[in-house]
Amino acid sequence: MKVIRLILWVSTALLQPLFLQPALAMVYINVDFQPGGSGGGTSVTFNARGAMGTPGTTWNAVAPSTDGSDNASYGSGGLYNFSGDPYSASALLDSTGTATSVGVEIFKGDPDGAFALNPLNGWDTNIAENAKELMRDYLISGYATKTNSVNITGLPAGSFYTLVLYGAGDLNDCSTKFTINGVSKATTGVPNDLHNLTEGEDYVIFTGITASGSVTIQYANNDESANGNFNGFQLAYVSGDSIPTLSEWGMIILAGLLLGVGAWYLHQRSRAGPMPAPS
């Protein structure tokens, strides 16, 4: 029995650090892009669930400064005029309002800009009915730079990420091509009619994304689109601290082998019968 006790002790020692780790937890982060600065007059932040069901309805308003050159009765916005490059927002809140390590960077381009439709003048008629505040405002790739980028930073290592990317304007000639890690997906834009958020029209979904601290999202005009709109995104991932690393998987496998040897040893002992008593 000393052999069995030794096997149990070693297996427990190998697995104990894994048992002490926190339970797996899903994290959801919502971002609503909108113009800031002089062009932020008609920006409104979304506060509902969006296409991805989330535990809460907190959205981060990320509003790079714009110069107001597009301010008019139909909305507000203009070219980026923030100092430095990129514009960054850090410590984004998750959907329940808890601060995270995740941030976002927006690049100026040549420059590009952002815009928000004015709902008071009826310019959002074709916007998704269940996400007006989200889909009314957006970053734009197409003022000067045909492809621009947004970085999501501060991502915990060792996880897989799902991204819902929103890319539509107020007319069906505004659609967006998104590219992540060489894979591209595009929206077709709104159908010029009443509708709710629809995959393929208003947003696309990327799943199984791997990243080492950050992920880059390229966005551009799709085909003959007037501009490449980027309304916002939803990010979901499993908390990376509790996912076994390769070395931890090695300990799990080794402990499993030791327990298997112990089970085999007990089986052989039971077949051999009880040990004879010493004379």
3-state SS assignment for residue 95 = coil
**Mean local confidence (pLDDT), 231-253:** 66
3-state SS assignment for residue 181 = coil
3-state SS assignment for residue 216 = strand
Per the CB < 8 A criterion, the answer to whether 35 and 78 are in contact is yes
Which residue type sits at 178? Answer: F
Q: How far, in whole angstroms, is CA 164 from its chain's centroid?
A: 7
Pairing outcome for strands 75-79 and 87-89: unpaired
User: Is the pLDDT score of 276 beyond 60?
Assistant: no
**Mean pLDDT, the chain, integer:** 82
Contacts of residue 158, defined as CB under 8 A and 6 or more positions apart, other chains included, come to 240, 243, 245
Contacts of residue 219, defined as CB under 8 A and 6 or more positions apart, other chains included, come to 139, 141, 147, 148, 149, 150, 165, 167, 176, 177, 178, 179, 228, 230
Contacts of residue 236, defined as CB under 8 A and 6 or more positions apart, other chains included, come to 26, 27, 28, 29, 52, 54, 161, 162, 163
Alpha-carbon torsion angle 20, 21, 22, 24, nearest 10: -130
The reported pLDDT for the residue numbered 4 is 52
The reported pLDDT for the residue numbered 95 is 95
pTM of the model: 0.78
The reported pLDDT for the residue numbered 246 is 47
The reported pLDDT for the residue numbered 193 is 79
pLDDT tens-digit series, residues 56-99: 999 999 999 999 999 999 899 999 999 999 999 999 999 999 99
Which residue type sits at 32? Answer: D
pLDDT tens-digit series, residues 159-213: 889 999 999 988 777 889 999 999 999 998 888 778 999 999 999 999 999 888 9
Q: Write the DSSP assignment of 63-80 as a string of letters.
A: --EE--TT-BTTEEEEEB
The reported pLDDT for the residue numbered 225 is 67
Spatial distance between the Cα atoms of 128 and 112, rounded to a whole number of angstroms: 24
